Structures are given as structure tokens and as C-alpha cells.
Amino acid sequence: MEERAYQYQLAKDAGDSNAIIVLPTGMGKTAVAALIIARRLASRGGRALFLAPTRILVQQHKEFLTGVMNMSEGEIEAVTGEDDVYRRADAWEATVVCATPQIAFQDYKRALLKPEEFTLLIVDEAHRAVGDHSYVKVAAVFPSSSVQKIGLTATLPSERPKIEEIKAHLSADKVLFRDYDSEDIRPYIHEVKADVRLLDSPDYMKRASSLLRQVLMEKLTVLGNENLMPKAAVAKLSLKEMMRNRDLVLSKGSWNAKLSYFMAAKLFNLEKMLETQSYHAFVNYHERLKEGGGKVNGMILRDQRIKEAYELIRGALVAGYEHPKMEALKDLMKGVSKNDRALIFAGYRETVDYIQRTLTEAGVSAWTLIGKQGVTGQKQEEQIRAVDMFRSGKYKVLIATQIGEEGLDIAECNLVIFYDNVASAIRYIQRRGRTGRRKEGRMVILIVKDTVDEAYFNVVQRKLKSLSSYAKQLSIGEATTKPKRAGAGKPSGPLDTFIE
């Protein structure tokens, strides 16, 4: 493990306090965690619990800590829902336990996890510690008087109330903040070149999108006329505002308003499939509406404008045409050498599978990484295998859903592609952070003009400008002296000196 002064400084600044550490993706948050674990256990004894949101991250943290900490076999264990209760009971006796928050809380209720035996709780991806997330439930059962609580994240929300909520749940006394402009971070940063590709849509796709929006506008206008949705939001076809007013619609809306609400929700999905995913996804969603039956689906499918949109896109597929982003993606892959590693993000499993099949047919070696839920989900072993095959070069392209955004350490990845866009600045930063870790990287964002994707991109750019400004105001301990070179400013003594 490379010694980096800012990692020691962050661990030192945390001291024995409850703190949130904000450190950019790829800058070694887990290394900071290892330093804090070593110091806490050496000074206070007890045990440490390291929470991470996914099974694959839990396993990755366990492997990292096992490699860098001077501990005996069995002293560092992983606990996930894939282990049976007897195996978990043994694992909870380890000195350092890495676990998902869901299973940690369940095992607390089973009395397998005993908070009084721990002196340290580390919460990875701490920006999730809001609402009724399992992080919040676990943190609540660990007494702040005897257990140090440390949150780790690449970025905090831009909204002040959410930051205060996270601080409250982790009983955090301080925020230790670094970003790419921090003086002690700069020597370790590798450039990530951004390439935003604005794609034109063919006339038939524009026509289909226009027809969908006409029907959608009619349904939202019903809500606006009954004061169940702001008229300005209706004009912007705002899904967010519509969903925000769901309870109002259901409690006070007329029968027509309720019907319009549920039709609009499905029309938004149709629009998203067409504009951001693929023709294939649009046609499949339309077919699922047919198979589902019911009054709402029937009214959508009987609308002549929906029928025309469907026939336009289905006809394009039959003729051998696909979505502009799919064509752009195939062109991008032609420029990827056999030594490159490309990570493609898509929001839907169906799209992930379709991209994998399309690239494989085009002669590109590609595999998938998806979550565990559902019949098609990947088990923990399959997820780990997918990442290992990508690292080793067996597959030069990995297509992932949101599970690939958080924490995956794939140093060899030099190209990240946003097949679709997200309106979340946190997720945008996490996607970007999958490249540029050991060398320069490239980020390509695919956007079809005048679509939902373009709207999301513009939203996230506005959020990025103000992201974590409040967190930066709260932060303490940021270094101001710029090291002369990468690796300069290392601590003078070994880890033992730091612990003392």
C-alpha cells in the first residue's frame, strides 16, 4: 500500500471523534479506514465493524484489510446474507467484521451482533445514511459514548438538510473534507477527459417522441386543472413533481385524475425507454403493457398516437435500425484496443443484457455486472467473478447497473461510458471515479438531443457547481501546503508511530 500523507492526516484529524470523511473517488478511503481501525483497536481494544452497501463491496473491503493489516487468519471476516446463520454466528466473533447493513441489523435483532463489544463503527458510502436506510438503524444501536463512528464518502449531498441528517445519524462532530482541488490531493490525481457526445435522432424517432409527449401532456393537464400538480410543472412534463403529489391525487383527485395519473406514470416509462435506452426496450415495454391487461394499459394502447409511435419504432427495428446511442456505442468500441478496459453504465438490466449481446455479436468481449435481486440477479460469487474477469482482461468491456458505481476498485479501467444519464450528482461523480485511478482516463457521455437524457445532464451540471459547498464550509483539517511531488510529505515513522 502506497503511503500518502493526506490519508495519514485524515486519520489523525479524525482522532477519537465521530467524523465524516469526504475523499474523492479513487483516493483511498479504505486505506484511511485501515489506519483508523489500527489506531482504535491498539488504543481502545474491542472490535471494529465496517459496513458497506453491497456484498461485493463487503468482500472487497475484507480482502483489502486482510492484505494490509497485521492480523491472524480469522481475525477479519465478512458477513453477508449469502452466509447461513451458523456461519454468521462464528464470523461475528472476529476482531474486524465487514458486513452489509441489512444483515448487520437483522443479526443484531437475533443477538448475534453485540454492539457493546465494539469500539469502532465505519460506514462506507455514508451519503446513504438518510431516511430509514439500514445504515441509520445500525448506527442507532451503537452508543456514541463508547463507539467511535466514522462515515466515508466521495461526496455529500448538495442540500444542507441532508448533510445535517447524515451528521446526526452518525453523531458526527466534524467533517473532514478533501476534493480534487485540495493541495495534498493534487499530486495523486490523474486526468479524466470528458467527451460529451450529442447525438441526432432520426425523424421517425422524433415523431414517436412527439406523439408520446402529446398524450403525456394531456394526462398531466388533467392534474393541473384539478390543482393536483403545478401548471408550470405540467408544462415541463415533470415526473418529479407528479410523483411528489401522488398522495394528493389519490386522496383528493377525481376518478379521471387518478386514471390520468397512472397512465402518465406508464407514459413516462415509455418515453424513457425510447429516448434513453433502445428501440428494443421501447418495443418490449409496449408488449408488456399488452400482456399486463387492465384498464390503464388498455386506454394507453388504444390511443392512435401510441399505436403510431409503436409502429414507427417497431418498423425501424424490423428494418435493422437501432437507437442512436447503440450505434454510437458500437463505433466507440472499434477504437478500444485489446489492452483497454471499458466500463459501461446503464440504468436497466434489460439494457445491460442487450448491450452485452449486441457487443458480443459485433466481436467485442463483454460481460455484465448486476445486483442480486430477482430471478436474473447475480449472486455474490458471480459478481466477484465478473469483476475478476474484467481485471484479468478476459473481458475488456464490463456493462454494469448502479451496483458498479459505488466503491469498485478497478485500476485498469481507462474508459467509462455513460450509456444513459442520471440526475444525481453523487451517482455522476461515482461513475466518473471508476476511471483515472492509476493513469489518465476517459469518460464518454452519450446524449440524444432534446430528450430526457439531455435534461438529466443539464440538471446534474447545475448540481455539480454547488455540490457540497456547505460540507466544505463545515470541513476542518484540510492541508494547505502543496507537496513538491507525489509521495512527498510522508509521515516520518512507521505505522506503529502513527498508532502511538
pLDDT above 90 (res 188): no
Domain count, the chain: 3
Q: Could you tell me if 345 and 329 lie in one domain?
A: yes
- Percentage of the chain beyond pLDDT 70 is 91
Could you tell me if 217 and 309 lie in one domain?
Answer: yes
Q: Cell digits for 480?
A: 494547505
Does the residue 241 lie in any domain?
yes
- Of residues 472 and 31, more confidently modeled: 31
Categorize the per-residue pLDDT at 374 as very low, low, confident or very high, splitting at 50, 70 and 90.
Answer: confident
Q: What is the predicted pLDDT for the residue at 495? A: 46
Asked if 88 and 118 sit in the same domain, the reply is yes
Average pLDDT on 285-304 reads 93
- Cα–Cα dist 370/424, whole Å: 19
pLDDT of residue 468: 58
What percent of the chain is predicted at pLDDT more than 90?
Answer: 57
Where among 301, 318, 335 does a domain terminate?
318
pLDDT at 78: 94
Q: Are residues 297 and 415 in the same domain?
A: no
Q: Can you give the CATH number for the domain in which 367 is found?
A: 3.40.50.300
Separation CA 88–CA 207 (nearest Å): 56
51 and 144 both lie in a single domain: yes
Residues 450 and 478 in one domain: no
Mean pLDDT of 319-342: 88
Which pLDDT band holds residue 472 (cuts at 50, 70, 90)?
low
> According to the model, what pLDDT value does residue 339 have?
76
pLDDT at 92: 95
Let me know whether 11 and 111 are in one domain.
yes
pLDDT score at 467? 65
Give mean pLDDT, residues 427-431: 83
pLDDT at 437 over 80: no
Indicate if 340 and 314 belong to the same structural domain: no
Q: How much is the pLDDT for 336? A: 78
Q: Is 220 in the same domain as 289?
A: yes
- Domain boundary residue, one of 283, 318, 353: 318
Domain that holds residue 406: 192-199+324-466
Q: Does one domain contain both 14 and 153?
A: yes
In a domain, 497, yes or no: no
Same domain, 251 and 335: no
| Largest distance between two CA atoms of the chain | 75
SS3 assignment for 295-327: HHHHHHHHCHHHHHHHHHHHHHHHCCCCCHHHH
Residue 260 pLDDT: 94
pLDDT at 400: 92
Instruction: Tell me which of 140-149, 185-194, 216-225, 254-263 is least confident.
Output: 185-194
Q: Out of 133-142, 231-240, 388-397, give the one with best mean pLDDT.
A: 133-142
Cell numbers placing 291: 400482456
Decide if pLDDT at 137 tops 90: yes
Mean pLDDT of 380-396: 85
What pLDDT, on the 0 to 100 scale, is given for residue 493? 40
- pLDDT averaged over every residue in the chain: 87
Q: Which pLDDT score is estimated for 158?
A: 74
Regarding whether 133 and 12 lie in a shared domain, the answer is yes
Q: Are 147 and 115 in contact (CB under 8 A)?
A: yes
